[in-house]
Amino acid sequence: MKLVRDRIPQIIESEGRTCEYRKVHDHDEHMRQLRAKMSEETNEFFENPCVEEAADMLEVLYAFIFLHNINFDDVMNTAYAKEDARGGFMGGIILKRADPPPKKTKDLQPGMEWDNRHPVNDPADW
């Protein structure tokens, strides 16, 4: 038993064959089935990198996005913006090490000095 594209049962029946199928019971089952399907489609793509297998992975991703009420155009626009700002993954860059980012501090105004004896005087609360 596995998740298939929505029209597969009708295609099987149109060929004169029979099949048994059901719909997922709930959102959680749908998500579990999609996770398994994405793993299957990714493995198939690794074995045979081609447009058809890439399209199958994209269709599963599209279902995930839809079921989380996320707009696909927003995803694509965000992906383009992230690629523009940070690059993509085409270059094969492996990060070996990085210094930790500097601690962010707010610009303190007079009278807003940090006093660690009074936890209510947390600049994050300002």
Q: Token match 């996320």: residue?
A: 70
Q: What is the pTM of this model?
A: 0.72
Task: Identify the band that residue 9 occupies on the pLDDT scale cut at 50, 70 and 90.
Answer: very high
Q: Token match 């936890």: residue?
A: 119
CB atoms within 10 A of CB 9: 15
Q: Residue 125 pLDDT > 60, yes or no?
A: no
pLDDT value for 40: 97
Length of the chain, please? 126
The pair of structure tokens assigned to 20 is: 């048994």
Task: Identify the band that residue 112 occupies on the pLDDT scale cut at 50, 70 and 90.
Answer: low
Q: What is the DSSP letter of 20?
A: -
The pair of structure tokens assigned to 28 is: 């959680």
- One-letter amino acid for residue 6 of the chain: D
